[in-house]
Structure 1
Amino acid sequence: MGKLTLTTFVTLDGVMQAPGGPDEDQSGGFEYGGWVAPFADEGMGEFITEVFGRAEAFLLGRKTYEIFASYWPEHDDPADPVAGKLNRLPKYVASTTLKEPAWGPVTVLDGEHLQGEIVRVKDELEGELQVHGSGQLAQWLLARDLVEEINLLVFPVVLGAGQRLFPTGGLPTAYEVVSSRTTPAGTAVHTYRPTGRATFATIGD
Structure 2
Amino acid sequence: MSETNADDTTGKLVVGTFLTLDGVMQAPGGPDEDRDSGFEQGGWSVNYWDEQMGEAMDGQFAEVDALLLGRKTYEIFAAHWPNVDSDDDPVATKLNSMPKYVASRTLDGVEWNNSSLFTGDVAEAVADLKRNRGDTILVQGSQNLIQTLLAHNLIDEFWLWVFPVMVGDGKRLFEEGTIPGALELTAAETSSTGVQMLRYERSGEIELGSFALDDVTE
**Structure exhibiting the larger radius of gyration computed from Cα positions:** 2
Partner of residue 76, structure 2: 67
Q: Structure 1 residues 117, 79: CA separation in 2 closer, same or farther (over 3 Å shift)?
A: farther
Structure 1 gap segments, 5+ residues each = none
CA RMSD after TM alignment: 1.6
Partner of residue 102, structure 1: 111
Which of 165, 186, 189 is the matching residue for 2:197?
Answer: 189
CA-to-aligned-CA distance 1:168-196 (integer Å, 9 cap, x gap)? 44222210111111111100111001122
Which of 14, 38, 51 is the matching residue for 1:29?
Answer: 38
Higher share in strand: 1
Structure 2 distance, partners of 1:170, 1:31, is 26
Partner of residue 159, structure 1: 167
Matched ranges for 1:115-126 at <5 A: 115-126=123-134
The answer to whether the 8 Å contact 2:150/2:177 transfers is: no
Residue 204 of structure 1 and its aligned partner are, at CA, apart by: 6.1
Further displaced range: 16-25 or 188-197: 188-197
Structure 2 distance, partners of 1:38, 1:80, is 20
Which of 22, 26, 29 is the matching residue for 1:17?
Answer: 26
Equivalent residue letter for 2:98: L
CA-to-aligned-CA distance 1:5-34 (integer Å, 9 cap, x gap)? 110100000000000111111111011111
Q: In the comparison of the two structures, how many residue pairs are matched? A: 204
The answer to whether the 8 Å contact 1:55/1:85 transfers is: no
Equivalent residue letter for 1:143: A
Structure 2 distance, partners of 1:169, 1:73, is 35
Which of 108, 125, 129 is the matching residue for 2:137?
Answer: 129
Equivalent residue letter for 1:184: S
CA-to-aligned-CA distance 1:80-112 (integer Å, 9 cap, x gap)? 221111111111011111112221211111123
* Residue 174 in structure 1 maps to residue 182 in structure 2: yes
Residue 198 of structure 1 and its aligned partner are, at CA, apart by: 2.3
CA-to-aligned-CA distance 1:118-151 (integer Å, 9 cap, x gap)? 1222233353111001001112111211111100
Structure 1 distance, partners of 2:74, 2:85, is 16
TM-score with structure 1 setting the length: 0.93
TM-score with structure 2 setting the length: 0.88
Which of 60, 80, 104 is the matching residue for 1:51?
Answer: 60
Partner of residue 7, structure 1: 16
The answer to whether the 8 Å contact 1:9/1:154 transfers is: yes
Structure 2 distance, partners of 1:119, 1:14, is 27
Give 3-state SS (helix, strand or coil) of 2:110's partner: coil
Percent sequence identity is 46
The answer to whether the 8 Å contact 1:151/1:192 transfers is: yes
Partner of residue 4, structure 2: none
